[in-house]
Structure 1
Amino acid sequence: MLMTTNEPPRASDAMTGAEAAALYRLMTFLSPAFPVGAFSYSSGIEWAVEASDITDAASLRDWLSAMLVDGSGFCDAVFVAQAHRAMNLDDMAALRELAELAAAFVPSRERQLEATTQGKAFIEITRAAWNCNGLDDAVAQCDTLIYPIAVGLVSAAHGIPLASALHAFLHALVSNWISAGSRLIPLGQTDSQRVLAALEGVVAVTAARALDASLDDLGSATFRADLAGLQHETQYTRLFRS
């Protein structure tokens, strides 16, 4: 039986104008519809499927869990957090050094292409449609802006809370990985959603770790995933650019 209530809405339930604007922009910036070309990249998953490291929903889930907890997912989230904080502190020197470090952290040529191309597209589209005070000056400080750095500084410039930005960034990242896996294995829509549901807790834990982490905590232990990114460069038949 459907239960209804006649209680009037409480004022505390409503968002402020600033909160609503921040949420709207966060959903826009990290939506699959935001045109950064993420669908073109698999982060090495294409080679992992060909090598039979990933064969079904369970092995895809395990691979992505490792990438989130011990690989590029965690490292990228740390870069998002550090860029967000540098932007909030108006520390352009720190932001410039952070952008250089993040670019150096990418382990292969194709992953470098993936990170820099998406970062450039993210910044260009944001400045064209969603520009705001301070964004142009921050971008001018950085020679190279890979995707997580771009997300961090844009989120801060638009007043998006760091914890929310981190969670949404990791959700978008793992959703794109699952999309690549679903086309390569292939998986149906239901199995793809099961993988996404199974990774909900992993995303939350990774976001929480990144929120508390420093640059000294950066590091990857997913050698097989890094190898997949390198091997993909010479893979004969390819659907993806990485």
Structure 2
Amino acid sequence: MQKVIVIFGAGTGLGLSVARRFGREGYAVALVARRLGPLDTLVSALESEGITAAAFQADLAQEEQIWRAVSQVEDHYGHIDAIYYAPATANAFDPALDMTPAMLRAQLEFLFLGLVASIQAALPSMRSRGGGAILAGFGGTASQGLPFMSGPAPAQAAVRNYLQSLHGELQPDGIHVAMANISAVIRDSAYHQSMDAAPAAVPGDFEMPIVDPADIADDLWHAASMREGLEFFYPAPAPAA
């Protein structure tokens, strides 16, 4: 029976690369995001490469929509073997001094609570099949706070902490947890495209390396298929002296 991965927050950057990587290994791909139009374009691209794919609509800040989308995926494919959660974030350059409870609540609902709902909705299917993978990607400020970059960072730090705990708890079920900690711009992502389209919108002293999403997708595939490795950093840390 064909395995299935659900990409929550699918876009043109890392989400598409993860879909391609797992698709090349024979997985069917379920793409989930708020707007169906862009998803249909991604489905067409994947199908042109011989990858089975389908689109499902959900606002990841709305728990009931996540549960509905997962139910639709299960109705369409019959089961779920893996999920990848990494919706595109905005307002990355908000200073911590400007953050309000309402702003933080919105980030938590989208980035953290949406992840929790996605996992809770998909876990029964994975457990019934005796294994699976939970994968995620987030910004490097999840592990190291930086001045003037506090928008999604606290919510992403909660994601990292939660997944670290979940990693040990789900190992007896054969479900592997792995995450990408990305202190770089992902090539061809929506953010990368916005940088090219409007350079003036990027702070003048903001410099980050650009990483190939295919490299990250390779690491996540290895983690899921070999059930090894919890966290991967981009760029890779310099070797200790």
TM-score w.r.t. the length of structure 2 is 0.27
- Higher relative contact order (Cα pairs below 8 Å, separated by 6+ residues): 1
Normalized per residue, the structure richer in strand is: 2
Normalized per residue, the structure richer in helix is: 1
Tell me which structure has the larger Cα radius of gyration. 1
